Amino acid sequence: MTPALVLADDLTGAAEIGGVAWRLGHPSEVHTGAARPEPGVLVVADANTRILNAPEAARRMAELAAGLRGVPLFHKVDSALRGNIAAECAAIAEAAGLRRVLLVPANPSLGRTLCDGIYRIRGVPIHETAFAADPLHPNPSSHVLELLGAQSIAPGQPLPDCGLVIGEASTQADIEHWAQAITPDTLPAGAADFFRAVLGGQPRPAPPRELALPLLMVLGSASPESRRQIAALAHRGAPVMEIPRQGREQLARALKQSGRAILTLPAQVHPEEAASLTNALAREVRWAVRELQLAELWVEGGATAQAIVEALAWNRFKTATELAPGVVRLMPDESGVQVVFKPGSYAWPEWLAEEGV
């Protein structure tokens, strides 16, 4: 049951899956919007549904899954339980003619676990973490029954014949157990650890630690991890520029002088201004890609990545390498710049500090 097509709800999650496939020796591509399986390549389709309400998200996923009966599928969901998870799982399963969904959202490798019905991030119930205040999909509870509308079951318990089944997992052994439970009439859904177990393969050696200059890093996430990263960059003397306070001339000068620059949003952004500021950031990136001969573009945050890809009209990427969990280097079609995407809640590779970034 090796997946041939993955449906993801946002772009950085799609890139994360492409990176997992690369690490396990499978060629992979990330497409935006509709996609179909291709021989010899794992295709990951970014449906961009996390920003939608549940009925709209379900409708889009059903459209993408239409005509895919008999195709081995996987649905990538957020390991912090953001998005329209239950609605999307049901829509994909129905469109693909599958009776059951086995959802394993936990990522034990990142300290994200589900046990006794409670979802935790590094031991802390998720409603007590920063994810409780997510602007689009806040988590007011840590009980998956309340969050997803279904009861979770522990490894070893029998699977029901149909419907949504949520598998609990605290260890990699738990993840492996659920991967072995998939049957031809089951849609596997979950986060990167579960996908890794389902896909299988021979791990590649760690990629070399290298950067291509000039490098533009774009930090559009409002997560605490992102703000700490920005403060550390400024402390090390990296040129950090805030949109819209600083302009293109300063950006061009920084890239020419040091070979690297960092673009960010203001530390405090009113929710009503978030979309317009993100789009303004994307326009600046589009200008930099087209005018400043960038070698690499590093982007943090799913909404920011989506806005940049739309501004540049990129819709297909080849996976080049996985630099760290969730940090994936891609090659857009018909572009000389390499792109690295990362979810806002994940960490950059530690070796970046040694490179002055």
Residue 59 within any structural domain of the chain: yes
Does a structural domain hold residue 74?
yes
What's the confidence (pLDDT) of residue 247?
Answer: 80
CA 119 to mean position of chain CA atoms = 19
**Is the same domain home to 230 and 90?**
no
User: What is the pLDDT, as a whole number, of residue 120?
Assistant: 97
pLDDT at 318: 96
pLDDT tens digits for range 104-142: 999 999 999 999 999 999 999 999 998 898 877 888 999
CATH number reported for the structural domain that contains residue 110 in this entry: 3.40.50.10840
Quote the mean pLDDT of the chain.
91
Query: Are 16 and 300 within 8 A, CB to CB?
Result: no
pLDDT band, very low/low/confident/very high, at 336 (cuts 50, 70, 90)? confident
Both 125 and 153 in one domain: the answer is yes
Q: Do 194 and 118 have their domain in common?
A: yes
pLDDT digits (tens, 9 = 90+) for 209-245: 888 889 999 988 766 667 777 777 777 777 888 887 7
| Residue whose structure tokens are 């041939």 | 4
Q: What percent of the chain has pLDDT above 70?
A: 96
Question: CA-to-CA distance for 186 and 72, rounded, in angstroms?
Answer: 10
Cα separation values, 54 from 84, 91, 142, 171, 284, Å: 5, 10, 20, 30, 32
- Residues 126 and 258 both lie in one domain: no
Express each pLDDT in 139-153 by its tens digit.
Answer: 899 999 999 999 999
15 and 67: one domain? Answer: yes
Residue 356 has pLDDT above 70, yes or no: no
Query: 123-129 long-range CB contacts below 8 Å, 24 or more apart?
Result: 126/80, 126/81
How confident is the model at residue 344, as a pLDDT?
Answer: 81
| Helix and strand element counts for the chain (H, E) | 10, 18
| CATH label of the domain that carries residue 332 | 3.40.980.20
- Segment 7-35 shows an average pLDDT of 95
CB 185, CB 100: distance < 8 Å: yes
What is the per-residue DSSP string for 50-77?
TTS-HHHHHHHHHHHHTT-TTS-EEEE-
Instruction: Kindly state whether residues 16 and 160 are assigned to the same domain.
Output: yes
Q: For residue 143, is it within any domain?
A: yes
Residues 94 and 32 in one domain: yes
Q: Tally Cβ neighbours within 10 Å of residue 223.
A: 18
Domain boundary among 138, 168, 199: 199
Say if residue 175's pLDDT is above 80.
yes
Say if residue 23 is in the same domain as residue 151.
yes
- Residue-level pLDDT at 56: 98
- Total of domains in the chain: 2
Residue 209 lies in a domain: no
Q: What is the pLDDT of residue 332?
A: 94
Q: Which of 145, 171, 199 is the last residue of a domain?
A: 199
Q: Are residues 96 and 49 in the same domain?
A: yes
Residue 336 is assigned to a structural domain of this protein: yes
pLDDT score at 246: 73
Residue 154 in domain? yes
| pLDDT band of 347, cuts 50, 70, 90 | confident
Do 35 and 184 have their domain in common?
Answer: yes
Q: Which domain holds residue 229?
A: 215-355
Q: Is residue 238 domain-shared with residue 278, that is, in the same domain?
A: yes
